[in-house]
Amino acid sequence: MPLIETLAQAKWTFATRRVDRARAVRTDTDFAAARPGDLILAHVDRIGQHKRVQLTSGRPAFIFPGDAVVMACGARYAPDQFEGLAKIDPKGADLLAGGGCIGRMVARNAQVRAATRLMPAARLLDALGNPVNLADFALAPRLDAALPPVIGVVGTSMNSGKTLATAQLVLGLRRAGFRAGAIKATGTGAFGDYNEYSDSGAHYVGDFTDAGMVTTYREPLERIKSATGALLAEAGARGCDIVVMEVADGLLQRETAAIIADPWFRALISGLVFACGDAVAAAGGTAILARFRLVPDAVTGMVSCSPMASAEAAAATGLTVLTRADLADPAEATGFALRAGLGRKEAA
């Protein structure tokens, strides 16, 4: 089948949503030369953990053996699922994330199935023979845009409640009359968090895929910082009064640990929310943050679902524990805005 027809019928994944598909006019099979962000056309070989991929349209699609899928070469770090590297083996590759990350799995959680296997068919090239890469379609720099105040959201691990906290605080800020942006600074490209931010009424939503990366795992810290700056500048240019910014994974994960240890992060944020699962995690996590002179304004996450656990966490940390309803309360959200230097607004 001709390339153009194959690409037209392929399932293009969420991570490729900014790509101008007309740029892909040639291919090669030099998979050893593939770099993070390069677009790879592959066919589904064997269904494993992922039975669906996330489309650029914002909906999930089932995949079946033989289906053509366009993804980006990338690494992944997800303790609940896989660790993978940005390497493409022509004999078979792994679907590391449904948002469109293809690479080589090196470890997996024993509670999940093996990765869905893919047969790489081609690396996509432009008319000059250069690889088509997500970085080619990254946000243009907004050098003249003022950065809005930032409330950071960090947590102990995956699924500790960071995304929910981010979305609910955005909701509270919107209810209080602020144009709140939502940004995910690190992680692996997927539309779940992106859509949840949008559903909460964020004035602007962006993540690292908008800055040209399918994943931030194993990316240099300076590139992540630059991408974060570009996203915040975009939010400012779009008229956001304030931004809530989620940093993925846990405090001990490689990139997250580097971010919280960097004075840049402390200077960037005007507030901090810490999500965790229980009181012990609250005590340990806040102690780690304190090493870098980071003191959360509040604790939230799974711990807040239990009044008993919340009381333990409050006693252990001396911090207020906020539920999802608290974060979505315009009065509580206004407190974050005021501490960030913004004036009070009329509720929307």
Complete DSSP assignment for 186-224? SSB--HHHHHHHHHTT-SEEEETTTTT-SB-TT--HHHH
Q: Rounded to an integer, what distance in angstroms lies between the CA atom of residue 237 and that of residue 197?
A: 19
Tell me, what's the pLDDT at 119? 98
Interacting residues of 201 by C-beta distance below 8 A, sequence separation 6+? 170, 171, 174, 180
Interacting residues of 293 by C-beta distance below 8 A, sequence separation 6+? 266
Which CATH number is correct for 150-339, 1.10.3720.10, 3.30.360.10, 3.40.50.300, 3.40.920.10? 3.40.50.300
Strand partners, 206: 183
Tokens 């990350």, residue located = 101
| DSSP 8-state assignment for residue 295 | -
Tokens 């994943």, residue located = 215
| DSSP 8-state assignment for residue 56 | T
Q: Rounded to an integer, what distance in angstroms lies between the CA atom of residue 314 and that of residue 302?
A: 14
> What is the residue extent of each domain of the chain?
3-137, 150-339
Strand partners, 72: 39, 101
Q: Quick one: CA dihedral 57, 62, 68, 72, positive or negative?
A: positive
Tell me, what's the pLDDT at 85? 98
Tell me, what's the pLDDT at 144? 84
Helix axes 330-339, 162-175, angle to 10 degrees: 90
The answer to whether 133 and 20 are in contact (CB under 8 A) is no
pLDDT, averaged in runs of 10, over the chain (348 residues): 82 98 96 98 98 96 98 96 97 97 97 97 97 97 90 93 97 98 97 96 98 97 97 96 96 97 98 97 98 98 97 98 98 95 71
For residue 344, give the nearest of 243, 335, 180 by alpha carbon: 335
Question: How are beta strands 68-73 and 93-97 bridged, if at all?
Answer: unpaired
Q: Angle CA(96)–CA(99)–CA(101) in degrees, nearest 5? A: 40
Integer Rg of the chain from CA? 21
Task: Give 222's Cβ-side CA count (13 Å radius).
Answer: 0
For residue 246, give the nearest of 135, 168, 179 by alpha carbon: 168
Q: How many residues does the chain have?
A: 348
Tell me, what's the pLDDT at 348? 46
